[in-house]
Structure 1
Amino acid sequence: MKTSICDIVILGASGFTGKYVIREALKFLNSPNSPLKTLAIAGRSPSKLSQALAWAASPNQPPTIPILSADVADVASLRRIASQARIILDCVGPFRLYGEPVVAACVEAGCDYLDISGEPEFMEKMEALYHDKAVEKGTLVVSACGSDSVPAELGFLFNSRQWVSPAAPNRVEAYLTLESSMRIVGNFGTYESAVLGLANADNLQALRRSRPRKPRPPIPGPLPSKGSIIQHEKKLGLWGLKLPSADSIIVRRTLTTLHENSHGLQGVNESNEQIKNREAFWSTVKPAHFGMKLGTKSYLGVFPFIFFGIVMSLFAKFSLGRKLLLAYPSVFSLGACKKEGPSEEQVASASFKMWFVGHGFSNSNVFPQQSAKPDMEIITRVMGPEIGYLTTPIILVQCALVVLSQRDALPKGGVYTPGIVFGPTDLQKRLQENGISFDTISKGPLLG
């Protein structure tokens, strides 16, 4: 086993999201019962890293922790920090531009890797290029360990597990609502990732065509109709706008992997009790069609997002358009995204709710035919603080703590979704203890 000087290295720690990750990690550094004993931060500028550490520790004095020099353009520096860490938390996006060298360094060094990417092409490319070698090296590579896509994944699994046999879901629709007492602006990095994702959408399709098609799990009942782009969910009092989000893609990847491994993936050195717990967890998860929508309380509230999506789609397809989108994010997003990001007051004022509306069958043994109509509904909810800068660091740090404390019960290595790695662990319990709740709202017959 390699000699590590750090349990966790936060890469890109001086960035807007990175400094919030530092602040969250410091809560658990050397705290009672925490597996986090050593922490380091890494990036291009030692002075900016020191400033980020001071901000994160305020009003206390910053702890004495290693500040490491690393640049995603400097492969040697990435190999150096990967050789010194048990886990790297990568906060340097857009990941399609900067993520692969970090993954490559971690895989080569046998250092586990977690990031906060919400970029499907990057994630699927890393799986295609590095999965086999990560298995060989014993490196876990898990993207989307933030607001993309843990609330959606664990929320779907939570809803799915409420369907007690012989009941089974046919589809689950998630509605994301963002709430704030102040107008909050989005992070430029997320905006830039979205622009580049739209610009390279053809690359993702080409990547998928180049890989063997994996069979999807059987789901009882009919294939849901696509429906309109805007839908009204009366029980929630929300209008939903369909989102081409990473969340839906990640959930489908998890269900496909689970279909191949019905009891999940075996841990490195699981105890008999851990094996029983994993198998018991996955035996209660039922596959379903999954969709993601942005929820607003008014019908008119969806139209700014439609306008934003149309403009971005049109401009992202050509070079000059992309330059304009990236040069003037506030203009093209109608003030929703700015390069300087939100203030601390804006972040503190915000929260999110993600509602999961599941439709299915009270007895899937009686209604197996494709023409059957669902007769049962289960609504669940995940909710927490501001989704980008508070919820994301909470999730990322808790995922890292699970890896530190339960590594023997996790897959030896490979490129996986968060749901596959963390679903059967105590991650949901940990999130609930840190301000992210999971609730069953209603369960009963589907009327109308």
Structure 2
Amino acid sequence: MTEARLDFIIFGATGYTGKYAVKIAAQLAKEKQITFGVSGRRKQALEAVVKEFVSDIEDVPILIADLKDEESLKKMTAQANVLINCCGPYRFYGEPVIKACIATHTHQVDVSGEPQYIESIQLKYNKAAEDAGIYIISACGFDSIPCDLGTIFAQQKFNGEVNSIETYLNMWVTTKVSGALIHYGTYESAVYGMAHSHELRELRSKLYPERLPPLWPKLKPRGAIHKSSVSEGWSMVFPGADRSVILRTQRFLYDKCKQRPAQVQTYFTLKSFFSVLTTIIFGLMFGILSKYEFGRNLLLKYPTFFSGGYVSHEGPKPETLDNVHFSMTFKAEGWTEKLAEPTDKHKDLPNKVMITKVSGIDPAYKATCTMLLLSGVTILKESDKIPVTGGVLTPGAAFSKTSLIEELIKKDIKFEVVSSLEK
């Protein structure tokens, strides 16, 4: 990276997530002494964003770039050390940006929660990113940063060897709110992610042709609906990208750092059984309709109806988001003794349980953009602590040995040990 470059350029700065990213970048610019610019297709709209969120910073360059213009993307990325990509759905708009970043030797972070996109990018571009000496890191927001780095945190605090981790996501509002909680762009990504989920098996067989050694005892999935001692309410399998991201991290740590991989299952919890039934009904409709073009058209045309009022094109109001809280609880089981090799087998059943937690507010936007920008800062300032010199990585693979968790704690995204018990 050359000295003339800006530390960050936020691409897609006029979108819903992009505006939050600009707001967080303005705060970090003063705190971390970083430089940044904004980019998109429309100069007037970009000027409005800068005027609204960074009016007290003298020089915020505005760069015009269009996804349909390869040269404009290269010109943009060539002026950044790290590109903050807020332009999704990434399955439609992400790959041209990746190509430009590789061509101009520019790091890229984004908030994609689309496993098919993320893993196909790793398959297609990992070697090119390695050769270019850059990091391409997706899933740098909620909910994969809390889940992936929360798993890393549990392993680091365990003081032994972790065999399995079960994660439980809870979300709630502290006061009665009206209107949507999710922007349409996030919903659109979920629709197409569900539609293409059938591609993952073949993709993963190409990405990891060699299986991991069998782990004992095997972590068995819990019932479709179950109660847990660590999460109050009714829990179900979490359908998002978390598990796929964590498993890629665990595979990386096994391959590169000779660490025993943890088995993982991810769940989310609802307080009432009525909420569970409602979620199942909407989930079934969503799953069936997303498989067919006419169904996807219906889902995308009537997002508010098919989400039970949680999604809108306008997105949630700031005062609504300030009342949204999340916690993710981790139940780690393993042994007090750590064996010499990751393939060595313990003779006895696990004898230790540790409960940890990650929590915060406004997970979808404020927390997400804080995680995203701090991921970029970590690449700038602590690349020497990333185990490899380039590639397409998960957050956990890239940041497990850095200070990112400590930086997130400073921003009120809390990581804590709740309890630890030896059997």
Which band: TM-score by shorter chain?
over 0.9
Give the aligned residue type for 1:204: L
Q: Does 1:436 align with 2:413?
A: yes
Which residue does the alignment assign to 2:50? 53
Structure 1 unmatched runs, 5+: 264-284
Q: Could you tell me how far 1:407 is from its partner in structure 2?
A: 2.8
Structure 1 SS opposite 2:71: helix
Is residue 218–residue 287 contact of structure 1 (8 Å, CA) maintained in 2? no
Q: How do 1:182-331 residues align onto structure 2 when only pairs under 5 Å count? A: 182-183=176-177, 184-216=180-212, 219=215, 221-262=216-257, 287-331=261-305
- Partner SS state of residue 231, structure 2: coil
User: How much does 1:338 deviate?
Assistant: 1.1
Output aligned runs, 1:8-23, within 5 Å. 8-23=8-23
Partner of 1:420 in structure 2?
A: 397
Residues 211 and 360 (structure 1), Cα distance of their counterparts in 2 relative to 1, 3 Å cut? closer
Equivalent-residue separation in structure 2 for 1:364 and 1:307 (angstroms) = 45
Contact 1:19 1:53 in 2 (8 A): no
Q: Choose 179-188 or 412-421, whichever is displaced more.
A: 179-188
Measure, in 2, the Cα distance between the counterparts of 1:74 and 1:427.
Answer: 34
Contact 1:160–1:286 (Cα < 8 Å) also in 2: no
Check conservation: 2:219, 2:264, Cα contact below 8 A.
Answer: no
Aligned-pair distance for 1:141?
0.7
Aligned AA (1:227): R
- 1:350-365 aligned at under 5 Å gives the runs 350-362=324-336
Shift of 1:412: 2.0
Moved more, 47-56 or 192-201: 47-56
Q: 1:376: how far off?
A: 2.9
Amino acid at match of 1:15: G
Structure 1 residue 23: Cα displacement: 0.5
CA contact (8 A) 2:11 2:87 kept: yes
CA distance in 2, matches of 1:305, 1:54: 41
2:39 aligned with 1:42: yes
| Native 8 Å contact 1:117 1:148 kept in 2 | no
Cα contact 1:35–1:404 (8 A) shared by 2:
no
CA distance in 2, matches of 1:163, 1:61: 45
Residues 18-37 of structure 1 mapped to structure 2, 5 A cutoff: 18-31=18-31, 34-36=32-34
Please say if residues 217 and 255 of structure 1, whose CA atoms lie closer than 8 Å, have aligned partners that are also in contact: no
- Report how far residue 445 of structure 1 moved: 4.3
Match of 2:154 in 1: 159
SS in 1 for 2:264: strand
Q: Name the counterpart of 2:358.
A: 382
Aligned to 1:342: 316
Q: How far is the alpha carbon of 1:12 from its aligned partner?
A: 0.4
Query: What is the alpha-carbon root mean square deviation over aligned residues?
Result: 2.1
What does residue 169 of structure 2 align with? 176
Q: How far apart are the structure 2 equivalents of 1:361 and 1:3? A: 48
Q: Per the alignment, in what secondary structure is the counterpart of residue 210 of structure 2?
A: coil
Q: CA deviation at 1:72?
A: 1.5
Cα gap change, 1:408/1:444 in structure 2, threshold over 3 Å: closer, same or farther?
closer
Q: Identity across aligned pairs (percent)?
A: 32
Shift of 1:286: 5.2
Measured in 2, the distance between the counterparts of 1:214 and 1:99 equals: 28
